[in-house]
Structure 1
Amino acid sequence: MNILVALPVLVPLLAAALSLTVSQVPAAQRVLSLLVLAFIVVVAGVLLVRADTTGPVVLQLGGYPPPVGITLVADRLAALLLLVSIVVMLGVLVFAIGQRVTDTGRASTTTAFHPMYLVLCSGVSLAYLTGDLFNLFVAFEMMLSASYVLMTRHTTADRVRPSMTYVIVSLTSSLLFLTMVALVYAATGTVNLADLSHRIADLPGGMRTTLGLLMVVVFGIKSAVVPLHFWLPDSYPTAPAPITAVFAALLTKVGIYSVIRTQTLLFSNAADWNFLLAVALLTMLVGALGAIAQNDLNRLLSFLLVSHIGFMLFGLALFSVLGLVGVILYILHHIAVQAALFLASGLLTRHTGTASLRDMCGAASSYPLVAFLFAIPALSLSGIPPFSGFVAKVALLRAGIEVATPMAYLVTGGAILTSFLTLYAMSKVWTSAFWGRPRPPVPDPDPSDTLTVGTGRTSPAMLLAAAGMVLTGLLIAGSAGPVSDIGERAAGDLLARSPYRQAVLGTGGGS
């Protein structure tokens, strides 16, 4: 059973290599990618059941004893996030296959997409499952390499410039990451997370604080935490709709997962962390106010993505079981909702031929299904009951009130204000893009082309994929009880730390 932990990392890599060998048969590439992701969904489901019933599933690669060898660990948190992430990747892949073109209207049936998408899947899986800091670095580099190729396909000057910003910032954070790994190894003699949880406790207080803050900065760049967020609103909107959707849904969440894993396992925070609470409040408000100021739909959604990273930092900074339950629920909700919003945005811009809110009008009467597919995740992101965003926000607000410190109360109030600002931003989109008299149809330069942006034509696969993402968000809300129970057990494990240590290092969790 333990070998299953390696499959989400290994199988997509092997499939990526195989996909290159069948590059002259696009149908074979598509079928291969779909089958691989469907298989990983099944594996992730099995790992979640196993981790929840019998404890973390651990694989020591090469048979080396810990902490010497490479360790893969699927505990409740990693398995749960892996399952939802791969479900979203599968849905976005269906959308991309149905679209067949980028948002510039050029053909996208090239050999690069499917291999790079599978490498991205492998990198996301490795980030969740790795048990050491160095392979977490490797996972981020895999995601960076794949995401840059996916972002810059069919390059234009308008796309390359923001993409270069994305790469430069990512490489800078990678250098900081590698420096942090070197410092950790120099100070402790290990990079194994379970072993580090013992050894970091023996370091002087100043060194522990420095390493903890360095990790927050490194993963804060990856997560687009304010003030390290400037690259995201410029980079994501330039990519094709399905690429933007998968980036928005997953890449920042992997960064947040890394913050959660390292801060709970390696550092002891008996009380709420006021510094992180302040960063969370700043991220919420700056992102929401930035969204309100936007006229471009995709930039507006990108700023809201930044804003709601603050909610996840809020729950983590409280360092309570209820706060971490709220974080877990919020990550699951946000993965599905962000993917659904960007896919619905892709459908809308495809019909209207523009992402400018000033140039959109009357889409609700012309494209009612697209309006419905946008409205549901928009309400969920705003925290309107009974959607998944409401469930997650209630858990976070309860956690903030229970902590009962002045800073926690302040950030709780900021979270409520941010929810209203999000609702205002979504109302702005609705009144600009969906209400009013329908605009004249965009001229079709090539009537024989059924897939060009602005023609008002979409494939059934695109609509099905967008609907599937909306349904995923609804299922998370509908199963809030069982998911909260798993989240509570996962949060208890994170704060206790002993289940992870014992699973990796053996009985007693010693080093």
Structure 2
Amino acid sequence: MTPQTSWIPVLIVLPTMVPLLAAAVTLLAGRSPTIQRAVSVSAIGVALIASGLMLYLTSAHGTFAVNVGGWDGRGIAGTPLGITLVVDRLAALMLVISLTVLLCVVVYAIGQGIRDGTTEQPVSIFLPTYLILTAGVCNSFLAGDLFNLYVSFEVLLAASFVLLTLGASAERVRAGASYIMVSMVSSLIFLAGIAFAYATTGTLNLAEMAVRLDDVPDGTRNALYAVLLVAFGIKAAVFPLSTWLPDSYPTAPAPVTAVFAGLLTKVGVYALIRTHTLLFPGGSMDNVLMIAGLLTMLVGIFGAIAQSDIKRLLSFTLVSHIGYMVFGIAVGSELSTSAAIFYVAHHILVQTTLFLVVGLIERQAGSASLRRLGGLIASPLLAGLFMIPALNLGGIPPFSGFIGKVALLEAGAQDGSVLAWVLVAGSVVTSLLTLYVMARIWTKAFWRARADAPDGAMASSTASALIEEGTDVLLEEREDVGRMPVAMVLPTMAMVAAGLALTLWGGPIFHFTDDAAHGVLDRSEYISTVLHGPDPAHATDGGRP
């Protein structure tokens, strides 16, 4: 039985509205860091609780939709008006995983003491901007129309640019300029796609558009899909639209890089999944996506092999593993879509964790360069925090990365096409090379003795640590050098535990992603809920017939 309660619309709005309101409060409380921190952590915690309730409700009762402000009117030719927010199993899972990451990272950032970069400015903009980013991420997953999704992307763009350039160093400003230019190109292409979609269908509501696109000629549909594919491909860092990422992300502070790597590209992947299954079913672009997925995997991982800086190396592996998700989308079966959703959840947790660990490495040793590191095995805690997500990313059994990759390989084998088999082979090669680059980090940064490091300045001196300006100082010059603050270690441990939980409960979670995949591929429940309200027939057995 579908719950008939007035609080469900409020629940759907909370993940977006609470962080936005909290951003205003933290901006006003800029002279009181304690209030800022408490409000930020509490707001993200409330949003996470609301998302957890939605995860439970969608699992039991299917899809829910709300017209913001109670505006449920219809315009010319019955076109839905107003802002529609929709939560199904896919959106709810993305919300829970993303808010878990956002909560851990904000605690980590507070522990690291990230503010404006100077003590003279009384108002801190880091936490207000971070909360605006949180609202943008949540609204992207809930958006029920293309224009609302576009607004969410613009909110993310503005917030991420501020976070990327905090501190105003020359390196960060250059990276921010590159990032903003590429993102603006993506936004312009997306805006052109919105105009194209409205001219073609007379609506921007995704459910209504899905119905009307069925009557649009194939050539027009494919042209519209191609435009949106380019826009979302840039956001998701799909090759050849991914070259901007390794130059932009590594320059930011560790918590900012971590949340960017974990979430911003996944918003683009989510948009690809939603549009591919809801608006453009039928596989007209499957071969294009397969080729893009293969090249993304291989180019990304070969780029990682060539890196000596851990942040850049992980940025290339981030690009590489986006290819696995595109693989699942392209094959288009229920198994491959389920595996892609599972892999998105896995990768958000693991990739974020690895970047947080890099922040701890910088704190402990003063550098993220493999040429300057060594002897980190002397810290068993740091070694363990790195090893677990590294093995997980490499797909070693029984970790969640192995579960997701095996499911993708099985889906590719079931497809049976030549391209699918090439993707299967490429996936195996990419996984082996991922293990190689993780082993390379372990060997150079952890296993070898510090005296063996080839960079003489680091090999012959006392271990150093990173300070805000990016320079190295000797241990004896700072009391905190070589120490990992508890407020940074505990969130990292929580992220490692979340990745292990995805492994331990891999069976039930994969069953949930099966239901989510069934829901996005079937389309009928989503369309019916948005246009006509919830259907009681979908309220049992996860919406399955």
TM-score category (smaller protein) = over 0.9
Query: Which deviates the most, 116-125 or 433-442?
Result: 433-442
Q: In structure 2, do the counterparts of structure 1 residues 341 and 109 end up closer, same or farther at CA, with 3 Å as the change threshold?
A: farther
Within 5 Å, give how 1:50-199 maps onto structure 2: 50-65=57-72, 67-101=80-114, 111-199=124-212
Q: Which of residues 480, 483, 502 in structure 2 aligns to 1:457?
A: 483
Q: Which of residues 247, 264, 268 in structure 2 aligns to 1:251?
A: 264
Q: What is the identity, as a one-letter code, of the residue corresponding to 2:311?
A: N
Check if 1:505 corresponds to 2:512: no
**Does structure 1 retain, via aligned residues, the 8 Å contact 2:37–2:110?**
yes
Aligned to 2:455: none
Structure 2 counterpart SS, 1:329:
helix
Structure 1 residues 33-70: Cα deviation after superposition (integer angstroms, max 9, x where no partner): 00011111100000011111111121111323262121
Report the Cα offset of residue 201 of structure 1.
1.5
**Does structure 1 retain, via aligned residues, the 8 Å contact 2:222–2:284?**
no
**Does structure 2 retain, via aligned residues, the 8 Å contact 1:341–1:378?**
yes
Report the Cα offset of residue 370 of structure 1.
1.0
Q: What is the identity, as a one-letter code, of the residue corresponding to 1:321?
A: E
Equivalent-residue separation in structure 1 for 2:437 and 2:475 (angstroms): 35
Aligned to 2:468: none
Equivalent-residue separation in structure 2 for 1:62 and 1:38 (angstroms): 24
Aligned to 1:280: 293
Check if 1:483 corresponds to 2:505: no
Structure 2 counterpart SS, 1:342:
helix
**Does structure 1 retain, via aligned residues, the 8 Å contact 2:116–2:166?**
no
Structure 1 residues 346-388: Cα deviation after superposition (integer angstroms, max 9, x where no partner): 11122111121011111112x2211111111110000001111
Q: Which of residues 412, 415, 431 in structure 1 aligns to 2:443?
A: 431
Equivalent-residue separation in structure 2 for 1:474 and 1:109 (angstroms): 40
Structure 2 counterpart SS, 1:131:
coil
Check if 1:470 corresponds to 2:496: yes
Structure 1 residues 232-289: Cα deviation after superposition (integer angstroms, max 9, x where no partner): 0000000000000000000000000000001100012258811110110000000000
Q: In structure 2, do the counterparts of structure 1 residues 497 and 371 end up closer, same or farther at CA, with 3 Å as the change threshold?
A: same
Aligned to 2:418: 406
**Does structure 2 retain, via aligned residues, the 8 Å contact 1:47–1:57?**
no
**Does structure 2 retain, via aligned residues, the 8 Å contact 1:321–1:495?**
yes
Q: Which of residues 310, 318, 321 in structure 2 aligns to 1:308?
A: 321
Q: What is the identity, as a one-letter code, of the residue corresponding to 1:23?
A: G
Task: For structure 1, list consecutive stretches of 5 or more residues without a partner in the other structure.
Answer: none
Aligned to 2:39: 32
Regions of 4+ moved over 6 Å: 102-109
Q: Percent of pairs identical after alignment?
A: 48
**Does structure 1 retain, via aligned residues, the 8 Å contact 2:19–2:132?**
yes
Equivalent-residue separation in structure 2 for 1:311 and 1:119 (angstroms): 29
Structure 2 counterpart SS, 1:357:
coil
Structure 2 counterpart SS, 1:111:
coil
Q: What is the identity, as a one-letter code, of the residue corresponding to 2:339?
A: G
Q: In structure 2, do the counterparts of structure 1 residues 463 and 507 end up closer, same or farther at CA, with 3 Å as the change threshold?
A: closer
Equivalent-residue separation in structure 2 for 1:462 and 1:384 (angstroms): 27
Equivalent-residue separation in structure 2 for 1:2 and 1:100 (angstroms): 37
TM-score (norm 1): 0.96
Within 5 Å, give how 1:230-269 maps onto structure 2: 230-269=243-282
Q: What is the identity, as a one-letter code, of the residue corresponding to 2:521?
A: L
Equivalent-residue separation in structure 1 for 2:446 and 2:354 (angstroms): 14
Equivalent-residue separation in structure 1 for 2:479 and 2:161 (angstroms): 28
Equivalent-residue separation in structure 1 for 2:222 and 2:121 (angstroms): 47
**Does structure 1 retain, via aligned residues, the 8 Å contact 2:116–2:167?**
no
Task: For structure 2, list consecutive stretches of 5 or more residues without a partner in the other structure.
Answer: 1-7, 75-79, 451-458, 465-471, 536-545
Aligned to 1:43: 50
**Does structure 2 retain, via aligned residues, the 8 Å contact 1:333–1:388?**
yes
Q: What is the identity, as a one-letter code, of the residue corresponding to 1:22?
A: A
Aligned residues: 505
Q: What is the identity, as a one-letter code, of the residue corresponding to 2:382?
A: V
Equivalent-residue separation in structure 2 for 1:310 and 1:25 (angstroms): 44
**Does structure 1 retain, via aligned residues, the 8 Å contact 2:335–2:514?**
yes
Check if 1:323 corresponds to 2:343: no
Equivalent-residue separation in structure 2 for 1:107 and 1:74 (angstroms): 43
Q: In structure 2, do the counterparts of structure 1 residues 90 and 109 end up closer, same or farther at CA, with 3 Å as the change threshold?
A: farther
Q: In structure 2, do the counterparts of structure 1 residues 192 and 294 end up closer, same or farther at CA, with 3 Å as the change threshold?
A: same
Q: What is the identity, as a one-letter code, of the residue corresponding to 1:432?
A: K
Equivalent-residue separation in structure 2 for 1:234 and 1:179 (angstroms): 27
Structure 1 counterpart SS, 2:374:
coil
TM-score (norm 2): 0.90
